[in-house]
């Protein structure tokens, strides 16, 4: 944990506050002005009250006559002070609120934008729970102290003003003030230092608790089918218990310090009365002055707490800020290039892998990453279809991700029409190559929105054309509202095969010149899958794409111009389906085994027969 010692938490916390002020200087100025106005009026009100007592109440008690003129003047002054105080409070609160929520919104936007910019490799290392808490509770925590900050700054000004006014009144009373105010300040500092580690721990545990909750809800199906409810509940309960203890220890500290912070000013008032009574007898001060100073001590007690609020929130703020900054400072290890491929061309693209090596980044930085691909070299010539076949874990999905540059190779080159994909702009890359992943992702939106994705030039005609190519026009036309049908969160109202075909149509609607299908039609009936691929190879409008397809089914593989057989991250053999069947035993075994499994599946009629409820619970990872 990066919380460090409490001393540097204070320093770093103040720097975080400084950043907030630099980002919202005008609003901060408004809030502080309101707060300073309030502080000065607090002092003024003490002197008016003192004046009322000394000049109106005392004579009234002693001589039984009420000085109506003085009373009216005092009443007017107090009323005026109250009105101005309202203005001050309003400015301070409004300014502080604006500043806090603006900063929160700004940083939420920055964090989420950064998430989308960061490469997939970064996302592999960070859980969804962490991402959520970075964008939510960490951003909030970072800016918590902003709410009391203007109040605290105004209070500091007020304290200086109060001490000055004390010296102006009487040196002996000023000494009491000089003893009490710094003591109050010191107590606040000690308090916040004690609080630092406790708050940091609570903040960390909050993130862990939400992480565990997220994981068990996300994997609800696994948890249920494997009967792991009790263990999951216990895992959650133990961490929730730690969070409870951490928060109780925060509360306990508060229970000790809060009363002390309340009491100190009262002791100050007592000291003022004792010292003041002596000074009054010596004739050094008047009743008015004594009452003013005593009253000042009482009304100062509350604002001084604002300093404590800021200091107490600093550790949490620093912890939250560290986590937010980790995201904002994370390097986009995949900068895009500046080259664009001819945007006008509709010709299929040529994809080439040249001696590509790849290792996933290790979970912890000091461990070596496991080599996943080595010496992978192959070409998908323009307009051709290449099938990628291999056992589970061979590296097919990794090759597919590399082809559309979701990840970069450790060594070697991947080129599109001869240009290294690292040199292409993001837009050119997206327009040229499209990946349809193994697990379809559907947005909670209409069918139309899911396919068009707000891309320019994709109207209903293009959407329908893409749906036809993906063999999805039939079921979409049969949906109650056609293209306007809402598909539900993660497409829960669709079967697995339907979702796969929608995501395929989404890729096709962009008319990519290279299509990478990573087992993208596995839940679709085999005959339909073959029909889709045949349609893609020779579309009605005569502009076929080059296709790299991860496939298992004989009918699909047989359509490919070339088959690349991979095992353990290496290209083991290449050739036509027929050639490989007769020359590569591993290949023949795999295709046959898959065919048998397929027949069983077909007997059980599992394709597209998945009920919406079950398919919605399918585990995506
Ligand atoms: N995000 C990841 N982090 C670490 N290792 C991974 C990751 N994804 C896949 N792997 C590993 O890389 C190898 C190849 O995986 P993958 O490309 O998904 O194979 P395939 O698609 O052929 O089943 C496997 O050993 C797998 O365990
Ligand atoms: Mg795969």
**DSSP secondary structure code for residue 282 in this structure:** T
* Distance separating alpha carbons of residues 60 and 37, to the nearest angstrom: 33
- Assessment of whether the complete model's pTM goes beyond 0.85: no
Query: In this structure, what are the phi and psi dihedrals at residue 352, rounded to the nearest 5 degrees?
Result: -135, 130
Cβ distance 260 to 187 under 8 Å? yes
Output the pLDDT for position 203: 77
**With the CA atoms of 154, 155, 161 and 167 taken in that order, what torsion angle do they form, in degrees rounded to the nearest 10?**
-170
Nearest CA to ligand 1 atom 6: 360
Closest CA to 320 of 101, 125, 135: 135
Output the pLDDT for position 278: 93
Q: Is ligand 1 within 6 A of the CB of residue 409?
A: no
Query: In this structure, what are the phi and psi dihedrals at residue 342, rounded to the nearest 5 degrees?
Result: -45, 110
* Distance separating alpha carbons of residues 35 and 300, to the nearest angstrom: 13
Q: Is ligand 1 within 6 A of the CB of residue 392?
A: yes
Q: Is ligand 1 within 6 A of the CB of residue 124?
A: yes
CA of 398 to the centre of ligand 1 (A): 6
Output the pLDDT for position 613: 35
Q: Is ligand 1 within 6 A of the CB of residue 374?
A: no
Out of 398, 403, 407, 519, mutate this one to test ligand 1's pocket (max ligand atoms within 8 Å of CB): namely 398
CA of 147 to the centre of ligand 2 (A): 49
Contacts of 119 (CB under 8 A, 6+ apart): 332, 333, 334, 406, 407, 408
CA of 397 to the centre of ligand 2 (A): 4
Output the pLDDT for position 618: 36
- Which ligand 1 atom is nearest residue 395's CA? 17
* Distance separating alpha carbons of residues 54 and 330, to the nearest angstrom: 65
Q: Within its chain, how far is the Cα of 66 from the centroid? A: 66
Please count the other Cβ atoms lying within 10 Å of the Cβ belonging to residue 202: 22
Instruction: Write out pLDDT tens, residues 259-288.
Output: 888 888 888 889 999 999 999 999 889 988
Nearest CA to ligand 1 atom 17: 395
* Positions in the chain short of pLDDT 50: 1-4, 609-621
Output the pLDDT for position 361: 73
Q: Is ligand 1 within 6 A of the CB of residue 388?
A: no
* Distance separating alpha carbons of residues 280 and 287, to the nearest angstrom: 7
Output the pLDDT for position 600: 78
Q: Is ligand 1 within 6 A of the CB of residue 397?
A: yes
User: In the block, which residue shows the tokens 């960070």?
Assistant: 126
Q: Is ligand 1 within 6 A of the CB of residue 604?
A: no
- Which ligand 1 atom is nearest residue 392's CA? 23
Closest CA to 548 of 415, 403, 449: 403
- Which ligand 1 atom is nearest residue 518's CA? 21
Output the pLDDT for position 152: 92
Q: For residue 52, what are its two tokens?
A: 């009322």
SS3 content of the chain, % helix, strand, coil (to 5): 65, 10, 25
Q: Is ligand 1 within 6 A of the CB of residue 361?
A: no
């Amino acid at each position: 944990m990066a919380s460090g010692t409490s001393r540097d938490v204070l320093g770093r916390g103040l720097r975080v506050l400084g950043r907030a002020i630099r980002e919202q200087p005008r609003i901060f100025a408004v809030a502080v002005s309101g707060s300073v106005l309030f502080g000065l009026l607090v002092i003024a009100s003490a002197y008016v009250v003192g004046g009322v007592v000394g000049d109106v109440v005392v004579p009234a008690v002693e001589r039984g006559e009420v000085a109506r003129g003085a009373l009216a003047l005092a009443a007017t002054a107090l009323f005026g002070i109250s009105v101005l105080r309202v203005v001050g409070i309003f400015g301070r609160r409004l300014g502080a609120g604006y500043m806090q929520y603006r900063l929160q919104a700004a940083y939420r936007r920055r964090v989420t934008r950064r998430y989308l910019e960061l490469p997939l490799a970064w996302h592999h290392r960070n859980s969804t729970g962490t991402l959520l808490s970075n964008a939510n509770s960490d951003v909030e925590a970072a800016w918590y102290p902003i709410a009391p900050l203007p109040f605290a700054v105004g209070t500091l000004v007020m304290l200086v003003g109060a001490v000055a006014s004390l010296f102006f009144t009487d040196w002996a009373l000023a000494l009491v003030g000089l003893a009490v105010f710094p003591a109050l300040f010191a107590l606040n500092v000690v308090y916040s230092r004690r609080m630092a580690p406790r708050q940091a721990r609570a903040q960390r545990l909050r993130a862990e608790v939400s992480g565990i909750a997220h994981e068990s809800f996300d994997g609800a199906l696994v948890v249920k089918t494997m009967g792991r409810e009790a263990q999951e509940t216990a895992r959650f309960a133990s961490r929730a218990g730690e969070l409870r203890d951490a928060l109780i220890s925060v509360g306990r500290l508060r229970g000790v310090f809060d009363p002390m912070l309340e009491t100190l000013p009262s002791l100050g008032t007592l000291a003022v009365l004792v010292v003041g009574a002596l000074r009054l007898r010596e004739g050094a001060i008047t009743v008015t002055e004594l009452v003013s100073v005593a009253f000042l001590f009482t009304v100062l007690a509350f604002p001084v707490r604002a300093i404590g609020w800021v200091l107490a929130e600093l550790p949490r703020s620093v912890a939250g800020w560290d986590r937010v900054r980790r995201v904002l400072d994370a390097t986009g290890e995949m900068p895009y290039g500046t080259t664009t491929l001819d945007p006008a061309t509709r010709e299929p693209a040529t994809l080439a892998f040249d001696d590509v090596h790849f290792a996933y980044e290790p979970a912890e930085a000091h461990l070596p990453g496991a080599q996943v691909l080595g010496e992978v070299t192959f070409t998908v010539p323009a307009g051709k279809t290449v099938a990628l076949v291999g056992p589970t874990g061979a590296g097919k999905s990794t090759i597919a991700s590399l082809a559309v540059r979701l990840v970069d190779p450790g060594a070697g080159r991947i080129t599109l029409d001869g240009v290294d994909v690292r040199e292409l702009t993001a837009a050119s890359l997206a327009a040229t190559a499209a990946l349809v992943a193994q697990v379809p992702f559907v947005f909670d939106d209409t069918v139309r929105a899911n396919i068009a994705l707000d891309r320019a030039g994709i109207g209903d005609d293009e959407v329908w054309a893409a749906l036809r190519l993906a063999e999805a026009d039939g079921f979409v036309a049969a949906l109650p509202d056609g293209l306007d049908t809402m598909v539900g969160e993660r497409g829960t109202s669709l079967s697995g095969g339907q979702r796969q075909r929608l995501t395929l149509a989404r890729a096709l609607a962009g008319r990519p010149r290279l299509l990478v299908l990573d087992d993208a039609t596995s839940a679709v009936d085999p005959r339909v899958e073959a029909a889709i691929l045949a349609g893609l190879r020779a579309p009605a409008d005569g502009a076929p794409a080059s296709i790299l397809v991860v496939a298992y089914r004989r009918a699909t593989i047989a359509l490919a111009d070339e088959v690349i057989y991979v095992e353990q991250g290496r290209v083991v053999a290449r050739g036509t389906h027929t050639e490989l069947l007769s020359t590569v035993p591993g290949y023949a075994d795999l295709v046959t085994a898959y065919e048998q499994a397929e027949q069983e599946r077909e007997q059980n009629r599992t394709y597209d027969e998945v009920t919406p409820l079950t398919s919605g619970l399918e585990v995506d990872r």
